[in-house]
Structure 1
């Protein structure tokens, strides 16, 4: 089908746009294949350019001969459009509903978008696995790059290049993949330079009720431990859940077969629970008539902050095993591409100062989430306002970014980027003109030629004039391991994200702009003083 088939009316005059804490805009509304555009004759008002894919749900209210549409977006912004006729209101509503739910990936905006800026650095080439491996030269003697999955037949959700123990041959990896759910065999996630411990990730083993063994898997897992050293297997499921999985053909590593490893169950809910939790939390945020007791009760019953606490706790356990005990760690849940990635990513953020820089954090997202096979297309298809029947959507990536924000609040000087950078990433994970977060895995991105037909988000944001607004003015490089508190009193609701349509963020934004100006002025003074001394 063509875009024109979805558009009931391409243009409507005298439409009023209303947003809380902003002046109303009266203008002409245009509907294109990808955007909702509202332009005004008043040169001093901002135009609206909204991607249809950003719309999560639409509510219509008809009053007499007029109508109002409430657009609730995936990034938690809310817009109101007022129409002079019911017919225009209904036509626009139908058009947006169809255009915001296009199933054909090739019709998505990133494939049509042409940048208006000069690409200084191709983001698709910014973090190749070979370069990332070279950055960890210390582990080069014991690990290698394997291209065993170059055709994606061994594991469809893994990248074509993975890092595995040097002594483990590709033939053995092929047998191990058959023993792990979805073929996600153990691979290197992070090498801790200080004590040479390693962090690996995988999916659950297929031990089943009969206690199936795979000696090749045992050999691979044991090969990362040096003589006399022990390791930890961190299972992100409760022990009862892992046993239930065993009855369905999954399971966990029995200590009798992995005698040098101690298994720890550090429970985190499955991805299905996250979506329900987000819906309840946003519903609580939207209830402006709640009393204090009712608000706190709703927030607690949503379990959103509990998920944050559980995720951070598990990441801290992993980091503690590696940093304090010098032990290697293997992390997995069931599938290996949701809670597993949450934990391995946050553990690296805690352990490594490089992950707290802009470039290092982008590289972390690239290797752990994008190449690591997190199914962005399925998980980010809907957000908090849409009650979907798919049950594949889940705010796993939002939980990760929220947990990062929690650590940023506790260590405000240890991160090179600010909270606007984190909000920016969430927005583009759900709706973007860039192709970085498209598809579920590298295999799909290759099939759809994403790297040749779309622009990378990193190409845009890493330009100095753009990146400057996302830098933390208080940043001071911090080489030590940072240990976030997971006490309930230490964790707070992210107002700037979840309550952006309910609480005016202008004072908060103005304060940070003033801090940025002051820090820049201080840097200029120091630079001048340095020149005078020389």
Structure 2
């Protein structure tokens, strides 16, 4: 690149006069040369980053993000007048006298604060910023406050007012893009996720209906909306009663607000009761539609055992009556046969938005008294609204369980309808209480049938602020309320809900972009962005509830939460998650998860030890029955001591166990020789030394059909010692663990990982999850820290070198006869 630039510059200098145009050409040449060099450097970095052994430190990553060449790739440089501010103070929200001094970075996607030692890092995606306001000047400098849609509040103090104004201007521009194509999802790259397609193919609407037993004799798929012509906010595949005619479907669509006609949402497989959803009718004070009346009659007849059809209007009656003046309204019971009408009174999006704002003020209170706190919480009415949503969902679920079909709608059928249909389905169907099922529920009720995510989350600035509302946040809150009442019935944990809420506003993934299925198809999100479900799948263990019992899917498939006021709780994990002082010292779910993982590790290790002990016992001529007897009781301390004494005494007398003939392959030869001590593949738990009551018996069966990946050949005593030392027997406690070894502080909501080799606690940046341990029989990849990974890698390298040397030495009895090429290859 430099030679090309010099050649072009020399050519230009040879001209008679350096005109202004010539100078511009020279500058362009230099810019092009620099740009090419940067492109090559960035490509090299990306290639190196794709290698698992290459890790970028925080400081290097921040420098890379904040460098001008990187910004120019995203064309956002002109929006950022200032890139980096030194000597910035991060104020503690609850104690103003506690500050952390560090550096503020403004990149094209994130606002980053970090101190000199990287002990305090704050990474905020601009899309999550709700507001940024300048505060009055203080003696310390010019403060400003950032409020995030995830209930994160930061107060930063900059040294100069002019700098503060420039930073605020940049933040407001970057947090409020005008076009959806400017969102973070279209720039985001994840080298750990192999393809953008991962997660987009996890859900198929037709497959979900097949799981419910549809199509069947009563319900069928309609092609009327195949090209989104009937209703552009519905999915292309809709399911209607089999007896419904096309003219009835078409007529009903014209009579319903935004064309959202009654369609099937959920079908109970046992009693054929159905949840259908739609929008309000355009009835006004006297209008009627025969086709719509006939379609509702078809829905009623689709359930042969139902005596009536319940129409649940989730709005307050006064709101529905007010809509009549605008030519909308609700169904007239006199015109619809066999229906019962029910108003339930869930407030509209504007009241919910105001309620959330009051709740934020409650969560932002500093050292409140009990009376002031309870009064402010009561005046917000947030818990009252959550209870109303749950109460409505319980009503719907009870009717379905009783065998009565229900039709649900609100105004346009994409806010309160989505909330109640989702929650009722979750109460009825245990599949929706699993991670995969919950994702399918969101895909079906919120993404396929339409919810105005762009408007309710205000992803772009052109959206009217009055359209913003925490509808999906309420759904997550109501789900959490159910989880607290039934902690063993949900496969996912609280962290899963918080992650969904984070990325609802982060715009990092394409999952929650667009208002309906058609929007996502038009934007080609599955091709241009990553799916949130792919990200969840890559770290699935972080979101598993250790208390989950799968057997309850059968024994307790129908869940009805108690909606009495005393059972509705304030979710501090959501609304105060960034206030460390209000949380317990250790997360109970994380402690249980750590214990579950540790038990799994020890079980796997015991299985390998049992196999090794039996093989060593066979080498010493001990019968299987004797070894099994010694192993009985999960290798208790007494039995281990007896075995150790037995093996040590025999090893001391044996002249055959030396460094040359200790491989376990000798055992394999004996096992295959057909003698009476041969290990057999037996399905009886007692053969492995465990009685039928042991929950671990199946995992410890000595089955010859299960062979480790590296086989049983050439395993020396040194390798057995390595296997025994490779698994952590004791784990460090999570209690009062304030920071990782890399000095990064632990937040309450962040996952803390145990290294399965050393047992220490680490953050997500210091843990690797793709390395098997020598001491595990299954050889499955497990989490280990970076230091242990280096030890394992070096051990494997030394083992490979030793094996190679042994192979070369076995060729000749005289090592000096090895060729120089061979010696060089060994040295390398």
Q: In structure 2, which of residues 356, 360, 363 is the aligned counterpart of residue 282 of structure 1?
A: 360
Per-residue deviation, 1:389: 6.5
Higher deviation after alignment, 87-96 or 276-285: 87-96
Per-residue deviation, 1:455: 0.8
- For residues 75-105 of structure 1, what are the alpha-carbon distances to aligned partners after superposition, in whole Å with 9 as ceiling and x for unaligned? 0012232322222222111110111111211
Per-residue deviation, 1:476: 0.6
**Distance in 2 of aligned mates of 1:227 and 1:160:** 28
Is contact 1:74–1:382 with CA below 8 Å preserved after alignment?
Answer: no
**Distance in 2 of aligned mates of 1:451 and 1:461:** 16
RMSD: 2.5
Bigger RCO (CA 8 Å, 6+ sep): 1
SS, match of residue 222 in structure 1: helix
1:292 corresponds in structure 2 to 370
Mapping 1:380-419, distance limit 5 Å: 380-381=457-458, 390-419=465-494
**Distance in 1 of aligned mates of 2:594 and 2:113:** 33
- For residues 176-214 of structure 1, what are the alpha-carbon distances to aligned partners after superposition, in whole Å with 9 as ceiling and x for unaligned? 11000111001111011121111000001111112x222
Q: In structure 2, which of residues 177, 184, 201 is the aligned counterpart of residue 109 of structure 1?
A: 184
Q: Does 1:48 align with 2:122?
A: yes
Mapping 1:263-282, distance limit 5 Å: 263-282=341-360
1:314 corresponds in structure 2 to 392
SS, match of residue 697 in structure 2: helix
SS, match of residue 223 in structure 1: helix
Per-residue deviation, 1:298: 1.1
Per-residue deviation, 1:39: 4.5
Per-residue deviation, 1:20: 5.5
TM-score when normalising by structure 1: 0.92
SS, match of residue 145 in structure 1: strand
Is contact 2:113–2:122 with CA below 8 Å preserved after alignment?
Answer: yes
Per-residue deviation, 1:300: 0.9
**Distance in 1 of aligned mates of 2:459 and 2:275:** 32
Mapping 1:37-436, distance limit 5 Å: 37-42=112-117, 45=119, 47-61=121-135, 62-64=137-139, 66-119=141-194, 122-137=198-213, 139-210=215-286, 212-224=287-299, 225=301, 226-227=303-304, 229=306, 230-323=308-401, 325-381=402-458, 390-436=465-511
Is contact 1:127–1:366 with CA below 8 Å preserved after alignment?
Answer: yes
Per-residue deviation, 1:500: 2.2
**Distance in 2 of aligned mates of 1:28 and 1:53:** 21
Q: In structure 2, which of residues 59, 63, 80 is the aligned counterpart of residue 7 of structure 1?
A: 80
SS, match of residue 114 in structure 1: coil
SS, match of residue 465 in structure 2: coil
Is contact 2:105–2:111 with CA below 8 Å preserved after alignment?
Answer: yes
After superposition, the Cα gap between the structure-2 partners of 1:399 and 1:382, relative to the gap in structure 1 and judged at 3 Å, is farther
Structure 2, gaps ≥5 residues long: 1-73, 604-693, 703-828
Mapping 1:492-503, distance limit 5 Å: 492-503=569-580
Per-residue deviation, 1:278: 0.3
Q: Does 1:474 align with 2:547?
A: yes
- For residues 55-80 of structure 1, what are the alpha-carbon distances to aligned partners after superposition, in whole Å with 9 as ceiling and x for unaligned? 11113233257222221111001223
**Distance in 2 of aligned mates of 1:125 and 1:460:** 13
Is contact 2:106–2:112 with CA below 8 Å preserved after alignment?
Answer: yes
Is contact 2:214–2:220 with CA below 8 Å preserved after alignment?
Answer: no
Higher deviation after alignment, 389-398 or 18-27: 18-27
Q: Does 1:445 align with 2:531?
A: no
**Distance in 1 of aligned mates of 2:583 and 2:375:** 28
Count of paired positions: 526
**Distance in 2 of aligned mates of 1:48 and 1:288:** 21
- For residues 268-290 of structure 1, what are the alpha-carbon distances to aligned partners after superposition, in whole Å with 9 as ceiling and x for unaligned? 11111100000011112212243
**Distance in 1 of aligned mates of 2:179 and 2:274:** 41
Q: Does 1:28 align with 2:103?
A: yes
2:698 corresponds in structure 1 to 530
- For residues 281-318 of structure 1, what are the alpha-carbon distances to aligned partners after superposition, in whole Å with 9 as ceiling and x for unaligned? 11122122432122111111111011011101100000
**Distance in 1 of aligned mates of 2:464 and 2:193:** 42
